[in-house]
Every structure is written in C-alpha cells, then in structure tokens.
Amino acid sequence: MTLFLISLVPYLIFTLFKLKKAIHMLQQNYYDESRRYFLWIFKNPKKVWLELDIWFPILTFLFFLNGYLPAIIFGVFYFLLAAEYNARRNKEQVKKPLVVTSRVKRLMITIFLIYFLIIGFMSITYCEQNLLWDYLFLGLLTYLSYFVVAVANVFNIPIEKCVYWHYKKQAMKKMNEYHIPVIGVTGSYGKTSSKNIIYEILSIKYNTFVSPKNFNTPYGLINSINNYLDKFEDYFIAEMGAFKKGEIAATCRLMKPTYGVLTVIGEAHLESFGSQQNIQEGKFELVESLPENGFAVLNGDDVYQLQYPVKNKCALYWVGITNHKVDAYATNIKLSSEGSCFDVHFKGDSNVYSFRTKLLGKHNIYNILQGVLLGYKLGISIEDLKRAVSRLQPVEHRLELKLIGNLYIIDDAYNSNPVGAKDALEVLGMMPGEKIVVTPGMIELGEKQWEENKKLGMEIAEQVDYAILVGEEQTKPIYEGLLEAKFNENHIYVLKDVKQAFPLIQKIKKEETYVLLENDLPDLFNE
C-alpha cells in the first residue's frame, strides 16, 4: 500500500503537466463555447493522442511480475515521462500563458475531486490482485486528460451559470443606477481599433469609459462594469464580439446600447458562423437592438451593409471613401510611412475639413471617419475633432510601428483576416528599404481558408523582398501562392517557431529593413 502511494507521486506530477496544458487549450478555446474545444481536439489528433504516455498499455506486462516491481516500474515510467515533458515544456514558446482566473480555479477543484475520489477509492479497496487494473485505469485516465478537462468543464456548467447570473445582476443594477449611454462597436474586422479611436475622439469633450483590451464578450463586459466603471462617465464604449448568430443580441440585452458602430462585415469566424449570411445577420443584431431615439454609424463602402434590410426605425448614418452619397466621406487621401492626411465632407455642409493622423493604412481612414461622424453627431466641434484625430496613437499589435534595435517592426500580430492582411501588406509596401513579412497565415475561415491563404501568398509576392512562414502545414497555401506569383523561392523561409525568425532576419536584413509581423496565432495552433 505504501509503495503504491509513493509510485503515484511521479504519476501525479506528469498528470498535472498534462492537465495544465489541457486547461490552457480549453481557456484559449473560450471554455468550449460553440464546441470550439472539441473541434480543436478533432483537428489536432497528434497533440491529443500522440503524447509519450500512449505507451502506458505496456504496463500490462506487470501481469507477470510480483512483489515491489510493478510499483517501481510504474513510478519510474511516469518519472521519466514527467522529466521529458517538463524539458520540452521549458523549450516551448508560450505566447499567452494560462491565466489562473476564478473560473480556472473552480475547474481545477473539480478535476482534483475527480482524481481524489478515484485514488481514494483505490486506496480503500487496495488489493495486490487488482493493482495492475488500478495502474492501467490511472494510465488511461491521464492519457485522456483533454477529455477529463472537458468532463470537468461540463460538471461546472451549473456553477458557472450561477456565478454568471450573480455578476450579471450586479452589473445590470450598476448600469440601471448610472444611466450611462452605451456605444456598441462590432464588425468582422477593426473592432478594437475603432473602439479606441472613438474613445480618443469622444474624450476630447466627454468623460468616456472604454471596455479594456479585447473584453468583448458578456463575461468581459460584466467584469468591466463591476470592477472599473464609475458613475461620472458620460459614455461607455463597449466592443462586442461574436462567434455565431445570437451572441451580439445577447450582449445587447445586457448592455442596452443607444448608439452603434458597425466597422466592416467580412469572413472572420466564417467557420463558427457557418455562412456569410449568418455573419451579416449576426453583426446587424447590434443595429437592430438600438432604440428608436438612438442611431448607428455604418460603412457605406461595405456591400454587406448597404444591401442589408435593417429592421429598425433608428437613424442610420453612413461614411465612405468611394461612396459619396453618405453623411461623411473622405477625399484627397494621402498615405505615407508617417501616417495619413485627408479631407472630410459632411452632408449639408459645403465646407471641406482637413484631417491628419499618425495611424497607418487606408482602413484606419474608415475607422476615423466613423469616430468623427459619431463625435460630430454627439456635439463635438470640428476643431476638437481635428485635434483628437491628430493625437491618435496605434493600438498595440495593430499596425504598430516600432524601432527595435536596428529593425523597424510593423506589429500587426493580432488575429489576422483577409482584409486586414491586405491592408497591412499595403502599409509595408509604402515603407522605404528592404521589406520582410513574418506570418503563420490566417485561421477560422472555414472552407475558404486555403483559398484566402493562397491569395495572401500572391499579395505578399507583390510587396515584400523576403517571406518567412511559420508552420509548415498551415502555410502550404501561402507557399503555393508565392510560387504561383513567381516569387523568388530562395527568398522564402519556412520555420517551426516564430522565435527562429529574428536570428534569420538579422542575417538577411540590409541597412534599412521593415519587418511586418502579420498574425501571431494562439498557442493552440502551434505546430
């Protein structure tokens, strides 16, 4: 009995390593919302099924052993596995570590209880004749760690619902007491950039609260309200994300927005939405949740917005660049490596107003136009609007230009999409000197993923001198697109890890080199 318990020590250490990895993947898959975690398991059989503990069935030879040998072999086996796993884990690049939130702690407690009950039962009913079956069961349990975590997550659903409703009630009570008008911001692309631009513009006149980072789910917004919002704010700007139809409507029932901004409708999260129509209808849930005395600011150059039959009587205001039959449009646009300048025309106003910004790329003109029109409708003067736009700073990891050592880095590492990637490459193309792109490609595009990544390869070929692709399997379509566009094959590098990119860049760079970091996939997509 004593030796049995001692043999479990290395086993439990290895099990903790595997469970932590599984919980990390569950967290990055939003705790299996829309079955994302199970979909990840299905798509990554090597990571789930081909760990070294797949050899645990060899312990069956313990049938033929007696005395202390079964416990010693079991303990040594998992000691070696734990040592190897720990060495490999220390070499891995973790882009976004596991965040030990209250929810994760509750999940860990449930998993602990599962193992405690199983090992406790084995200890109470300990019998040498059953020892082999106990060891085999424990080996199978750890081998299936990803599913143990999934089961624990299911067990915790009632608890999480109670916790959610408790904090939601607190948040709604606070919102009802404060009566702060909410500005909802959604779209397939550019939500966070647009949210921050609106915040900077409105803050020139009003006390404005913005949901931090990418807190764009009901959980994140509830956390923002309960922990950060105070009663002195004039407006609350809330980013609203979604993976399927109905999620933005649910967020709107919580937030009750008065105003809405819809950036662009595209193919982001096509895999989870299921169709382009579902994306279109899902994004317009924000507009259709607005009260009649509210209004929405839409993109008049986006065909998916122009064609949509809005089921709401609230006012709709439009911005555009190519479309001038809108409420505010930009002309005389001049883009450069130092920012942009452009003229703005307002409907019913014969004057032309010149704006200047440090933000890079044409797509930011749309975000600024929407923020300017929103501010204009909320009573901010033109001069204040111009001053606010001139002060705008890039959002972290979204076309953020940095000088690191002797390299210019254009950091566009946040989750990429076809429109955003093309815009980023155009920004890189405006830069002087040598141009290098580092990318693992785009994800969550469903059936269009191969096609869109191949297009990305062809677009890269038009703008850069060197292409560094991260992940052999997932970048195959990019490689194919590069070759089809007659890109120099000697200037293509395929790496397993993004950490290998910078030593390589130091070898191939010239005196003035600009490096675009286009997308940085979460850990669950590491090859």
pLDDT, one tens digit per residue, over 332-391 is 999 887 889 999 999 999 999 999 999 988 889 999 999 999 999 999 999 999 999 999
Is 297:317 a contact under the CB 8 Å cutoff? Answer: yes
What is the β-pairing status of strands 182-186 and 235-239?
parallel
CA atoms within 13 A on the CB side of 143: 15
Which span out of 39-48, 169-178, 406-415 was modeled with the highest average pLDDT? 169-178
Q: How far apart are CA 407 and CA 197, in angstroms?
A: 27
Rounded to a whole number of angstroms, the CA Rg of the chain reads: 27
Task: Encode 234-270: b = buried (16+ Cβ within 10 Å), e = exposed.
Answer: ebbbbbbbbbebebbbebbebbbbbbbbbbbbbbbbb
Q: How far apart are CA 162 and CA 141, in angstroms?
A: 29
- Residue 22 tokens, joined: 């599984």
Residue 490 confidence class, pLDDT cut points 50, 70, 90: very high
pLDDT at 165 over 60: yes
Which span out of 10-24, 25-39, 62-76 was modeled with the highest average pLDDT? 10-24
Average pLDDT score over residue span 118-125: 91
Average pLDDT over the chain reads 89
Is 355:342 a contact under the CB 8 Å cutoff? Answer: yes
- pTM of the model as a whole: 0.83
pLDDT at 22 over 60: yes
Average pLDDT score over residue span 77-98: 83
Average pLDDT score over residue span 80-86: 91
Is 299:264 a contact under the CB 8 Å cutoff? Answer: yes
Phi, psi at 494, each rounded to 5° = -115, 120
Model pLDDT, residue 94 = 67
- Residue 15 tokens, joined: 């099990």
Spans of all domains in the chain = 2-155, 178-390, 400-525
Model pLDDT, residue 118 = 95
Which comes out higher in pLDDT, residue 239 or 395? 239
Residue 197 confidence class, pLDDT cut points 50, 70, 90: very high
pLDDT at 479 over 80: yes
pLDDT at 115 over 90: yes
Q: Tokens 């220390």 map to which residue? A: 90
The closest of 109, 215, 103 to 163, measured between CA atoms, is 103
The tens digit of pLDDT for each residue in 428-437 reads 988 888 999 9
Average pLDDT score over residue span 98-120: 95
Looking at residue 395, the DSSP 8-state letter turns out to be P
The tens digit of pLDDT for each residue in 280-331 reads 999 999 999 999 999 999 999 999 999 999 988 899 999 999 999 999 999 9
The tens digit of pLDDT for each residue in 249-290 reads 999 999 999 999 999 998 777 677 878 899 999 999 999 999
Residue 86 confidence class, pLDDT cut points 50, 70, 90: confident
How is domain 178-390 classified at the architecture level of CATH?
Answer: 3-Layer(aba) Sandwich (3.40)
Which comes out higher in pLDDT, residue 330 or 442? 330
- Least confidently predicted of 51-55, 193-197, 512-516: 51-55
- Residue 320 tokens, joined: 């555009």
Q: How far apart are CA 84 and CA 388, in angstroms?
A: 54
Which fold does the domain 400-525 belong to in CATH? Protein-Tyrosine Phosphatase; Chain A (3.90.190)
pLDDT at 89 over 90: no
